[in-house]
Amino acid sequence: MNLVGIADRLRLRLQGGLPGHDAFLELSGYRRPDLEAAMRAAPPPRESAVLALLYPRHGMAHTVLMQRPTYAGVHSGQVSFPGGRREPQDDSLEATALREFTEETGAPVTGVQLIGALSPIYIPPSRSLVTPFVAVADRIGPFAPDAREVAELIEVPLADLLREDILKRREQHIAMLGRTAETPYFDVKGRVVWGATAMMLAELRELLRQ
């Protein structure tokens, strides 16, 4: 997949109507009214941002995910895009995404161009409203992940996201629903990517397939 062509097409599509997450939410056992009610509850959600960076590797367009370490928290061991909460020094959510990317992956964002944002996602367990930004870079690295926040970086060819067999289903406990449901997930190099990051990948996948 040619990175320049992908970036040009995505830039146009990100400026138009986005697919959103409702179809994936239903597959995951959530309902939009439930999420909206949870988001209205006090205190207000905390703003966060993540970065889906597209870059070339071995002649193919890639993006990078990270697996979080095991810790006493709601996102322990999960796979996500690099990102985190907005801090007072961040002028914008875009700045949050870029800062967090460098802090977690160790790679500078010099030359990174933001091309748009995917649909924001509300994450009930951490009461976070996350905006996923999409960016491109002619080159990236070297990576030097922060061991306190990153157990492993996972470089993923975009072509893999378009495979039919990457999307699977399994039984998953959903804390907000208080029950176990059969939910979709992305099998990314043997890692289970579910929840909010799966919704981001599903929307990005839909834009890439259009």
**DSSP, residue by residue, 86-97:** --TT-SSHHHHH
Helix (H, G, I), strand (E, B) or coil at 21: coil
State pLDDT tens for residues 71-102: 655 556 789 999 999 999 999 999 999 999 99
List domains and CATH numbers for the chain.
Answer: 3-164+194-209 (3.90.79.10)
Report the side by side order of strands in the sheet with 167-174: 167-174, 179-188, 191-193
- Report residue 210's pLDDT band, with 50, 70 and 90 as the boundaries: confident
Between CA 61 and CA 138 the distance in angstroms is 10
What's this model's pTM, rounded to 2 decimal places? 0.88
Are the C-beta atoms of 132 and 49 separated by less than 8 Å?
A: yes
Q: What does the block give as tokens for 75?
A: 């996102």
Interatomic CA distance for residues 71 and 73, integer angstroms: 6
Condensed to tens digits (0 to 9), the pLDDT of residues 112-122 reads: 999 999 998 88
pLDDT value, residue 123: 83
pLDDT of residue 44: 79
